[in-house]
């Protein structure tokens, strides 16, 4: 499994697995990143790929000093289940 990368050109964090790409799309403005939508291909469903993607994305966001708006329901649910990331919420 490859590492999560920040594709700034397409405004998304990506994780490539078995020839498929899981992605979480975002917008950044004024020190705040808004996660808009997360897509995990059906072939990768149920393997924890989405959670791995979001965890790595949030770790990157934290090191970049950004605040988070979890507009995406998947990102919101991940943060709700992982209180260590609550402090990132705007």
User: By residue range, what is the domain housing residue 36?
Assistant: 5-88
Helix, strand, coil percent content, the chain, rounded in steps of 5 = 40, 35, 25
Confidence of residue 2 (pLDDT cuts 50, 70, 90): confident
Residue 44 to residue 49: CA distance in whole angstroms: 7
Rounded average pLDDT over 3-31: 97
Query: Total domain count for the chain?
Result: 1
Which residues, in sequence order, are CB contacts of 37 under 8 Å at separation 6+?
24, 25, 72
On the CB side of 73, how many CA atoms lie within 13 Å of its CA?
1
Write down the mean pLDDT value for the chain. Answer: 97
State residue 1's pLDDT score: 60
Which residues, in sequence order, are CB contacts of 11 under 8 Å at separation 6+?
25, 26, 27, 28
Residue 13 to residue 34: CA distance in whole angstroms: 12
CATH number (domain holding residue 28): 3.40.630.30
Rounded average pLDDT over 46-54: 97
């Amino acid at each position: 499994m490859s590492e999560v990368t920040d594709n700034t050109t397409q405004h998304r964090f990506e994780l490539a697995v078995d020839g498929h790409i899981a992605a979480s799309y975002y917008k950044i403005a004024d020190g705040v990143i808004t996660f808009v939508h997360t897509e995990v291909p059906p072939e990768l469903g149920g393997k924890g790929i989405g959670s791995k993607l979001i965890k790595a994305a949030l770790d990157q966001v934290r090191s970049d000093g950004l605040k988070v708006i979890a507009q995406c329901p998947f990102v919101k649910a991940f943060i709700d289940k992982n209180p260590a990331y609550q402090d990132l919420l705007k």
